[in-house]
Amino acid sequence: MRPTATKNPWLPFGTGADAELRLLCLPHAGAGASSYRAWGEGMSSQIAVCPVQPPGRETRRREPPETQVGPLVADLAASLSQEPLTPYAVFGHSTGALSAFELCRQLRRMHAPPPVHLFVAGRRAPQIPMDQTRLRGLSVPELADVLRRLGGTPEQVLSDPGLLRMLHPLLIADFAVNETYHYVHEPPLDCPITVFAADEDPRADLDQAAAWEHQTTAAFTWHTLRGGHFAVFQQAERVHGWIAEALRA
């Protein structure tokens, strides 16, 4: 189900007021809410896909992007607390998976209604430190090489120096969210966690993804996808089916 528009800048496509359940989707580095726009057509009609728009991109491109996950999720949680979302689940890919996890912990600190499920993809468990790519010092061609190795970025973007220069500040900020992250131990979440792990993902091997199991006291589910870092989008139909099945349960 595709939700209707809202004035909340974090939720540019709305909250699905008539849906039985909402799925908040947090984007990967360099991406915005539109990366999940098509998911609203592929998901079960009972689930409203609600793409989240962090500052610095698309409809919020004039705002400076956040470089740390703490302030990002604090602002997002405060905004979500003003919306009629319950019941809801959270999905995040790559940097968005880290933000989704810390959002759940921030909402718990606020004693806000918790999500019924957390779905993550494209990132190792938060207690395992990330490799440092040191994007701050990269030239535009070097940035293109890093993105090409990760996969998922169209070649027409990678071969356009002007577009890469425009995206460079946002990508630097988004990668900083991952690379400056310092995991602080807290009790595991009470909601179930489902991980979508790709067997050729250079950012999270299967063992690193499996370690998400330690972050929940509830059910833990694992799905393996063939492919690289963006397999979750390339095989979206399968992912939608698994999400709908988990939320029915």
How far apart (Å, rounded) are the C-alpha atoms in residues 80 and 106?
11
C-alpha 84/C-alpha 16 separation (Å) is 9
Q: Tell me whether strands 47-51 and 88-93 are parallel, antiparallel or unpaired.
A: unpaired
Residue type present at position 116: V
Angle at 98 between CA 93 and CA 103, to 5 degrees: 110
Q: Assess contact for 171 and 179: CB atoms under 8 A.
A: no
Q: Rounded to a whole number, what is the largest CA-CA distance in the chain?
A: 48
Beta partners for residue 47, in sequence order = 21
In angstroms, the CA 53 to CA 59 distance is 8
| Residue 94 among the catalytic residues | yes
User: Which residue from 83, 29, 79, 38 is spatially nearest to 57, judged by alpha carbons?
Assistant: 29
Catalytic pick from 35, 44, 81, 94?
Answer: 94
Catalytic residues: 94
